[in-house]
Amino acid sequence: MRYLWVILIYIFLIVGLSACQTASPTGSVPESLRTQTLTPVSTPEDTDITSPVSPNTTTQKMVTMAKEHLAQKLGISLEQIALSEVKPVQWRDASLGCPKPGIDYIRAETPGYGILLETGGRTYNYHTDEVNRVILCN
């Protein structure tokens, strides 16, 4: 009688565990998606770029600081500068992705933004933190 209980428990465990298995990927993914290949997007190794952000006070502050810097540098008004893109970025070190030769930077992840500004047919690439650092990155 004891062996019968052991066999029943064993069968119950096998049936229960097999019911918990996930479906095979080929059975749940449509054929059209299985044949598609994805092309990886490469970014510089010092950044972790995510999707574009909706404007908030921090984002707007950093965009305004970048525009003010560019306006002063080029001697133009803020109205002549257009915002092309803003993306949140996790910079890998204190250089904000724009290291200067011969300078060692603290290796600390720094949240910030990649900002593209346009004026006079040219695009300007700014890197920022989320507080007060704005760098024109060539």
Confidence of residue 118 (pLDDT cuts 50, 70, 90): very high
Mean pLDDT over all residues of the chain?
78
State how far the alpha carbon of 73 is from the alpha carbons of 44, 48, 79, 100, in Å: 26, 28, 14, 19
Mean pLDDT, to the nearest integer, of 22-49? Answer: 44
Confidence of residue 18 (pLDDT cuts 50, 70, 90): low
pLDDT at 51 over 50: no
Domain ranges of the chain: 2-34, 57-136
Highest mean pLDDT among 13-27, 31-45, 107-121: 107-121
The CATH class of the 57-136 domain is alpha beta
Strand 134-136: give its sheet, edge to edge: 82-91, 110-119, 122-129, 134-136
